[in-house]
Amino acid sequence: MSYTFGFIGVGNMGGALARAACRWNPRQVVLTNRSMEKAISLAEELDCDVAMDNATVAREAKFIFLGVKPAGMGQVLVELAPVLAQRTDRFVLVSMAAGLQLDRLAQMLGRPVPMLRIMPNTPVAIGQGMILYTAGPGVDREDLEEFLIKMDAAGRFDAIDEKLMDAGSSVSGCGPAYVYQFIEALADGGVECGLPRAKALEYAAQTLVGAAQMVLETGKHPGQLKDEVCSPGGSTIAGVHALEESGLRAAAINAVVKSFEKNKELGKQ
C-alpha cells in the first residue's frame, strides 16, 4: 500500500503534525518511531497505520516527515539512502530539524532529492500552528500545492527564505513555550488577587487567544491595540507600567535571540 504522508518519529512535533495530517485522511498516513509502543498507541488513537521500520515509510509514503533530532539525522538519512535511490515515483523528504539547512541534509543523504524544510510549532496539533517552509529546488509546484492543501488542517503556512528560517523559528517555533509561561504568570497574578486557579487560567488563556486574533485580523500594530485598552489614569496603564519596570520587552527579546543563537549552534553539530 502507498501513503500520502509518512512519519519517521512521532515525538511532540512529529506527533502533532501526524494529528494534522490525519484530519485530512487517516487512511493515507503511516507512522513509525524508535519506540514502537509510541507509534502504535498514536496510530490506534488516530486510526492510521503503523510501519515497523523507517525503510517501509521511506518506500511507501510520498511526503516523508523526518521527525528526528538534528544529532540523529545523519544516521537516519544514511539508512534511508539506498531505499530512496530505488524509488522511481515522486516523493518529497520533509525535515523539521532545527538548524539543518537543505544543502546539509543533501550532503548527509549523499545526493540531492526533493526536500521541504519546515519549522512548525506544537499548536499544529489543534489546527492553530504557524508553519514556516522552504522548498528545495527539486520540489515542483504541483507537489508543493498538494502538500499545502492536504496539510491545511495544521494551521497557517508561510514561505520564507531559508536564511531566515532560524530567526523565524525562534519566534514561532519556540514562542509557544514563552506564551505558556506568560499565561501561567497572568493566572498566578489572578490567584494572588483571589481568583480560583481554574478561572484564572481560563481567563488568561482566552485573553491571549483574543488578543492574538485582534492582531491578525485587524492588521493594527500591537502598540496601537495596547493604547486602545489603556484609558488615561486607568488600571491597565498602571499594569503596563509595572511590566515595563520589570523588563518584559527586554526579556522577550532576549529569549528570541538566545533561541536563535542555539538554532545556529545546532546547525553546526
Which pLDDT belongs to residue 267? Answer: 66
Between CA 35 and CA 37 the distance in angstroms is 5
Domain 175-266 has CATH 1.10.3730.10: yes
Residue 239 zone, left/alpha/beta (φ > 0; ψ -120 to 50; rest): alpha
Give the type of residue at 103. D
240 grid coordinates: 503596563
Question: Hey, what CATH topology would domain 3-162 get?
Answer: Rossmann fold (3.40.50)
Query: Would you state the pLDDT for residue 250?
Result: 96
Q: State the Cα torsion 228-230-232-238 to the nearest 10°.
A: -170
Domain ranges of the chain: 3-162, 175-266
Q: Are 95 and 118 in contact (CB under 8 A)?
A: yes
252 burial (CB, 10 Å; 0-12 / 13-18 / 19+) is: middle
Residue numbers in the chain where pLDDT is lower than 70: 1, 267-269
pTM of model > 0.85 = yes
Q: Show contacts of 111-117: CB within 8 Å, 24+ apart.
A: 111/81, 111/85, 112/136, 112/137, 112/138, 113/84, 113/138, 114/90, 114/138, 114/139, 114/140, 114/143, 115/139, 116/63, 116/92, 116/144, 116/147, 117/162, 117/165
Instruction: Assign 3-state DSSP to the chain and report helix, strand, coil percentages, each to 5.
Output: 60, 15, 25
pLDDT score for 125: 86
Fold match, 3-162 / 175-266: no
| Residues ≥6 apart with Cβ < 8 Å to 45 | none
Which amino acid is present at 239? G
